[in-house]
Structure 1
């Protein structure tokens, strides 16, 4: 089964905590082993100094990885984060963030993914992440 962006938005609505939904993520694109989500700019997610807080970026990357893994599997299945490593390279101020996830390995029990978080219109990412999820079902 091919997972459409509408299917992925439904997965977000049905399976994520209210505080995650409060990030306002939307699914822009899904493919065989990837997904692109949008994190809209929000003053509520900014820290002192006006930059988007790292916690919001990490939560968005983790959530986008779930969607990419669902796309790779052809639908939703329960999973949990085992590891996430995030490197922040520059602040995000006043711009939506495009979160591009590529599933690099999909096994029976584990999924591995690489993510770039790039402010809309920017040439360079603001952050990158490497994530591992355990597949529970």
Structure 2
């Protein structure tokens, strides 16, 4: 089983510096999925204080990787083979929360989905789905 503390350490050890620059925090991880949050900062906001799509897609992908770890009961390297992000509304607020879950885990492929919301309002701002290859 992967704890939030272990997941946070694994995030720091295994993800690129530009992912780390988002300051992601693992707030939940278990067999049901994972929740990660990032603060809304000037570095990821564009005109009007709207969080850029690249940051949202990165948060979704990273969250789904941890949902895979939660489902598998351990952190394994997975490769994103496809990622689709749908932007629902302008992402503003203090924090962006991403709730991710595995839909199906096979021997070689894992299918996941994520919902991103802006806090404190809790307004959905994006949804994503991905397929991961498990070597």
Q: Please give the TM-score of this superposition, normalised by the length of structure 1.
A: 0.94
Helix, strand or coil at the partner of 1:60: helix
How many residue pairs get aligned? The number is 135
Helix, strand or coil at the partner of 1:8: helix
Aligned to 2:72: 73
- Please give the alpha-carbon distance, in whole angstroms, between the structure 2 residues aligned to 1:83 and 1:33: 21
- Please give the alpha-carbon distance, in whole angstroms, between the structure 2 residues aligned to 1:46 and 1:105: 34
Aligned to 2:123: 124
CA positional deviation for 1:121: 2.6
- Please give the alpha-carbon distance, in whole angstroms, between the structure 2 residues aligned to 1:121 and 1:49: 18
1:55-134 mapped onto 2 (5 Å cutoff):
55-134=54-133
Q: Is the 8 A contact 1:33 1:69 kept in 2?
A: no
Q: 1:118-137: per-residue Cα shift (whole Å, max 9, x none)? A: 0113243100001111112x
- Please give the alpha-carbon distance, in whole angstroms, between the structure 1 residues aligned to 2:80 and 2:113: 13
CA positional deviation for 1:108: 1.1
Helix, strand or coil at the partner of 2:86: strand
Unaligned runs of 5+ in 2: none
Q: 1:5-54: per-residue Cα shift (whole Å, max 9, x none)? A: 01110110111011111110000011113001111111100112220000
Helix, strand or coil at the partner of 2:7: helix
CA positional deviation for 1:70: 0.8
Runs of at least 4 residues off by over 6 Å: none
1:11-90 mapped onto 2 (5 Å cutoff):
11-90=10-89
- Please give the alpha-carbon distance, in whole angstroms, between the structure 1 residues aligned to 2:2 and 2:85: 26
CA positional deviation for 1:77: 1.1
Q: Please give the TM-score of this superposition, normalised by the length of structure 2.
A: 0.95
Q: Is the 8 A contact 2:81 2:132 kept in 1?
A: yes
